[in-house]
Amino acid sequence: MTDFIQLLFNGLVEGSIFGIAALGISLVYSVLRLVNFAAGDFLTLGAFTTFFFTTSIKFPFVVAVVISMVLGVALSLILEFILWRKLRKIRAGTLALFLVATGVAFIVRQSIAMLFGSDSRRFEIDQIKSFEFFGAIIPQAQLIVLVCSSIAITAIAIFIKKASIGKDMRAYSDNPSLAAVSGINVNRVIIATWIISGTFGALAGVFQGTVQGQFTNAMGLDLLLSILAAVVLGTIGDAYGALIGGFVLGIVMELSTWDALLGGIPSTYKPVVAFVVLVIVLLFKPEGIFGVKARKI
């Protein structure tokens, strides 16, 4: 039972990070029909900028996180104005968008390596302090990540459901043409989408760097496929589904290493488990967890 509780907690922590990152990708796809392959590198950028502001400039950790989120939003909006908006105007095809997004990811990743180097980094936080819960060891840092990510998830769910801009985003994702002629400010919706995506991408990067203990400029790339699996599992284009898909994958991946399950699997194969689960679900639910009538946001 102790091992189960330990793995369940680890799965909830990892799932919350997957969910936050997947939400940003799903939201961008839902509104803009763009698969943002650079999302993993935005995640890495958030972790590295936070590290820079805490170690080099000596800002408090929370302040550094807020600045990193602002920088993530700023970069997202810059790319929107100089790149994505122009591509939409010329009606760039799916393949063109895919290649451009891949190029952006490569540029961001190499820029991180040039600015911060390729050595691993570690946040200056207490990784040792922990609590005991029914025999399981709950690290304080991971508990804080779980609490903060839960608050962030609750806040964005309420925002999308209750705020006027959230309702506009839902309407636009359902029918862009009808939303445009009905008076919805399309540019406002798109900007709000990139703000949420940039904020949550940076936040997910900080959380993942905290949980890992140390991170490199390949962190986001290593996580990207698992995050995309969470997006598809929860029904691509469904923000709520992305959150649930993230939690499902995080918990399943961790529990797959449990000795009670036929000895478990080595932890290095956890990403493989994510795709096995994805394939099994899609065989029975090709549209993802929420099926054909899934919400768009």
Reading the chain (297 residues) residue by residue, the pLDDT tens digits are 788 888 889 899 999 999 999 998 988 988 888 888 899 999 999 999 999 999 988 999 999 999 999 999 999 999 999 999 999 899 888 889 889 999 999 999 999 999 988 888 988 887 778 888 777 788 888 899 999 998 998 898 888 888 888 888 888 887 887 877 888 888 999 999 999 999 999 999 999 999 988 898 889 888 888 888 888 888 777 778 888 888 988 998 888 888 777 677 887 888 788 888 888 888 887 777 766 554 455
Task: Using a cut of 0.75, tell me whether the model's pTM lies above it.
Answer: yes
Whether residue 131 is contained in a domain is answered as: no
Q: Residue 239 sits in a domain of what CATH number?
A: 1.10.3470
Number of H-type helices and E-type strands within the chain: 12, 2
- The total of structural domains in the chain comes to 1
H/E stretch holding 131: strand 130-133
Type of residue numbered 79:
L
- Nearest Cα residue to 84 out of 35, 27, 30, 23: 35
| d(C-alpha 209, C-alpha 202), whole Å | 11
Instruction: Look up residue 109 and give its two tokens.
Output: 């990743």
Whether residue 212 is contained in a domain is answered as: yes
**C-alpha distance from residue 49 to each of 57, 80, 89, 121 (Å):** 11, 21, 33, 11
Instruction: Look up residue 177 and give its two tokens.
Output: 């043409």
| d(C-alpha 73, C-alpha 71), whole Å | 5
Residue given tokens 């636009």 in the structure block: 172
Which residues constitute the domain of residue 33?
Answer: 2-116+140-284
| d(C-alpha 79, C-alpha 32), whole Å | 13
Whether residue 193 is contained in a domain is answered as: yes
Whether residue 134 is contained in a domain is answered as: no
